[in-house]
Every structure is written in structure tokens, then in C-alpha cells.
Amino acid sequence: MSVVSDVRSRVVDGPHVWGRYAVRPVDRTMWSTRTLVVYPPGTTRGERAVLRAWSAWPALGALVAIGVMAALAPHAALGTGAAVGLYAAGFLVLGRAARRLRPGVRTLTVTTFHGNGRPEVHGDVRLLGASLDALTVPERALRQGAIRPVDFEAIWADVWNDLPRDRRARFSRPTPPAAGRRGPLGR
């Protein structure tokens, strides 16, 4: 692969094929956040691009809207209208494109409050850490050719199945898995 195709692949696919891991360090509100987002196993490159565009649009769209407003500065009303229209159109187009993909995405968030002398953790830290390890170590092995893509996807599916299903459950402990089923997290 050339350097250009490596960079393009990294921008379109992101650092991980299975989803993303985001860390927001402690800010002035004394909270830090770690979020693991796992796409459904078998998500194609195009689907990953749509999901990444959907999650990036609020910030990217705002920058594009500001650029449109700046370009049309002599005509303030036209610039504002074009910027708002473009920003809304981005949400409509990406929302429609990602509509069937978004429900399958699993998210786990752990927040920590650092303000009372000792950290107060909210969320399943153990599940987050085990899931992240269970995804990143085999992904590295896949990139080195040590495991087959089908083996990696089976691990990815186990992790995805272990994460809470709906967004309301992302701050609570997941329900125990069905009897007899054991995933990579040893549960």
C-alpha cells in the first residue's frame, strides 16, 4: 500500500474496523468520560464510513457552515441561510444513510467524577476494559496476519453480544448472558 492509500484508509475506516474508543479527559466540571462504540460484526467499509460521517458531522458540519458564512460574508442573510441549510441537509442526508445502521451500534460509556477527594466511577469499568482488550489485541494480530479475518470477526461478534443492547442501558450493568454461552470476556 502507498502512503496515500494508508492515510485515506485511516480517514475512511478510522483506527479500528470494529468501531471507536473515545476518551474525554477531566475538564473544568471534574468529569472524565471513556466511551466504547462497537459496530455490528460484518460492517462493511462503506457502512463504517457512513457511521463515522454521522458521528463527525456535528463538528465537521459546523466548520463547513462557518466556512460558507465566511465565504458569503458580504451577503450576511444569504450566508447565514446557506450555512444553516447546508448544516441541516448534512444531518438529513447522513441520518437517512445511517438510519438502518445506527440501531445495531452498541455503546458503553464509563464516566468518572474527580471532585470529592476520591474518584466516583459510573458504569461498568471491567466490561469496558475487557471489551477493549478483546478487540484491540486480536485486531493487531489480524493486521500482522497472525489470525484469519473470520476468527477476528467471531471475537468481534462475542464482544458485540456482551455489550448492552439499547442506549438507555449504557450506564448500567449488562444482564448476564444466557446459560452455557461463554464469550471472550469469560462470562
Confidence (pLDDT) at 13: 65
Confidence band for 68, pLDDT divided at 50, 70 and 90 = very high
Beta-carbon contacts of residue 111 (< 8 Å; ≥ 6 apart): 31, 32, 33, 34, 121, 122, 123, 171
| pLDDT tens by residue, 69-118 | 999 988 889 999 999 999 999 999 999 999 999 999 999 999 999 888 88
The DSSP annotation for 139-170 comes to: HHHHHTTSS-HHHHHHHHHHHHHHS-SSGGGT
Confidence band for 47, pLDDT divided at 50, 70 and 90 = very high
Question: Contact 90/57 with Cβ under 8 angstroms?
Answer: yes
pTM, entire model: 0.76
